[in-house]
Amino acid sequence: MSLFFPTLYRRRITDVTVEDLRRLGAACVLLDVDNTLTTHDAPELEPAVMAWLDAMREEFKLVVVSNNNAERVAPFAEKIGLPYYAHARKPLPFGFCGAAKQMGCGRKQCVVIGDQIFTDILGANLAGMKSILLEPIQFETEQKFIVFKRKIEKPMLNSRKQRARKERDYGER
């Protein structure tokens, strides 16, 4: 079960602080795209998210890791000025490991940030990396499989949140 738990829980990417990432020992941050940085139907970043990226890139190496193909990821990554690792096949760990290698970092120095337990968090744990689970920016109602996954994720998320509340540290384990 611990394979499905993130190291930290935060609501939005903009809630993740430099201190959070330092405490996790991050040198490199591996970023999911859909519902983490942006929504499926809005490829533009919110100004607050862009400001967050600009602050974080001063401190850490950042890389976009996506299951989408390079044709979709490359223009987005270029627009926000970040390297990318496409067709990552999350939750398999190889994409995360490949991205870490590409950035010249060991897996212990990597922190994965994403919104899905069954891709981002499971993949990070399988790769031996720390992770931060966000609430998705927007549920993709038209994508039935994702909706199905959310239903399975919900009880896990709820139990995790409850534990986090009890621990009064908002999700650090």
Residue ranges in contact with Mg ion by CB under 5 A: 32, 34-35, 115
Nearest residue to 56 via CA among 6, 14, 95: 14
Q: CB 41 → Mg ion: shortest distance, Å? A: 13
Q: Is 70 in contact with 76 (CB distance < 8 Å)? A: no
Which lies closer to Mg ion via its Cβ, residue 24 or residue 153? 153
Q: CB 132 → Mg ion: shortest distance, Å? A: 13
Q: CB 117 → Mg ion: shortest distance, Å? A: 11
What string of H, E and C letters represents the secondary structure of 73-105?
HHHHHHHHCCCEECCCCCCCCHHHHHHHHHCCC
Q: CB 63 → Mg ion: shortest distance, Å? A: 15
- Cα gap 120→163, rounded to integer Å: 20
Instruction: Output the six-digit token pair for 66.
Output: 């996506």
Which lies closer to Mg ion via its Cβ, residue 26 or residue 121? 121
Instruction: Output the six-digit token pair for 85.
Output: 């690792």
Which lies closer to Mg ion via its Cβ, residue 115 or residue 153? 115
Q: Distance of CA 138 to CAs 39, 122, 144, Å?
A: 6, 21, 14
Which lies closer to Mg ion via its Cβ, residue 34 or residue 153? 34
Q: CB 148 → Mg ion: shortest distance, Å? A: 15
Which lies closer to Mg ion via its Cβ, residue 32 or residue 153? 32
By CB neighbour count within 10 A (0-12 exposed, 13-18 middle, 19+ buried), where does 2 fall?
exposed
